[in-house]
Amino acid sequence: MISGLFGTGTVTNTLRGGLDEASATHRTIAERVARGLGRSAAADFSGALDASMANMDEELTRNMAALADTQLRYEATARLLQKSYSDLRTAIRDRG
């Protein structure tokens, strides 16, 4: 019975997998952002081409947008999982 509530293919298992995936994606994007910030801080601005800097800024902007998107997806999935657990608690309480 418990595996039917938390096992493979259940809503809670799918949502937990979604949280794990979103967390890994968030970590990857955050690393790209950190590398991008490190490159821009270490760049020799006196000799850098404007086009190169614009390209780095554009890449950083895309990564920051992806980071925000991933964060929103993570929060939405966490809320769905919280609701699922809340419904499960209510069902267990009402049976007893």
Domain count, the chain: 1
Within-domain flag for 2:
no
Residue 93 has pLDDT above 70, yes or no: yes
Within-domain flag for 65:
yes
Within-domain flag for 24:
no
Query: Can you give the pLDDT at residue 52?
Result: 64
Within-domain flag for 78:
yes
What whole-number distance in Å separates Cα of residue 94 and Cα of residue 76?
27
- The pair of three-digit structure tokens given for residue 33, joined into one six-digit string: 């952002």
Count helices and strands in the chain by DSSP H and E runs: 3, 0
Within-domain flag for 1:
no
Within-domain flag for 6:
no
pLDDT tens-digit map of 68-92: 999 999 999 999 999 999 988 998 8
Domain housing 60 = 31-89
pLDDT tens-digit map of 44-74: 555 555 656 677 788 889 999 999 999 999 9
Within-domain flag for 9:
no
